[in-house]
Amino acid sequence: MKLVMAFPPRRLCSLLLGVASLPLSVEAFAGPLLVPQVQIDRAIDAVYRCPGGRSFKVTYFNARNGQSFALVPVKGTPMLLVAGMSADGVRYQAGFVTWWSKGQGGDLYDARVDPDRPVLKGCTSSS
């Protein structure tokens, strides 16, 4: 009986070396996000309290080029949202998440749950 290898030995070694180095390369992506083309003046932190007792911090970034961003925790994971057009307040969005801030208040939407009803409604900040 003849044994047939799915990968030639040289290809198998390359594949194993690639897989062995994968955890190291994934950690390299965990560094700070730097985008030299977008100049941020300063970060503004706001702590929001929602009905039912939930509270969380949102960090706002206003760029010199007119863009603005919000770093919002979603189920414990920070998400960087980008401001888009809005008739009222500022609507920050990324993927399935929308943070809609109006004055000192804000609502968090998760389109996976319901795109038309916020998962957190009536949150307010004193800052």
Chain segment 11-27, per-residue pLDDT in tens: 433 433 343 344 433 34
pTM of the model: 0.71
Residue 32 counted as domain residue? no
Q: Is residue 72 one of the residues assigned to a domain? A: yes
Task: Tally Cβ neighbours within 10 Å of residue 7.
Answer: 11
Q: What does the alpha-carbon distance between residue 96 and residue 90 come to, in Å, rounded to a whole number?
A: 17
Pairwise CA distance, residues 68 & 84, whole Å: 9
Q: Which residues pair with 79 in a beta bridge?
A: 72
Is there a domain that residue 49 lies in? yes
Q: What is the pLDDT of residue 85?
A: 87
**Burial class (CB within 10 angstroms; exposed 0-12, middle 13-18, buried 19+) of 72:** buried
CB 120 within 8 A of CB 54: yes
pLDDT (tens digit per residue) in 53-102 = 999 999 999 999 889 999 999 988 999 999 998 888 999 999 999 999 99
Asked if residue 91 belongs to a domain, the reply is yes
Domain containing 69 equals 40-125
- In the chain, how many domains are there? 1
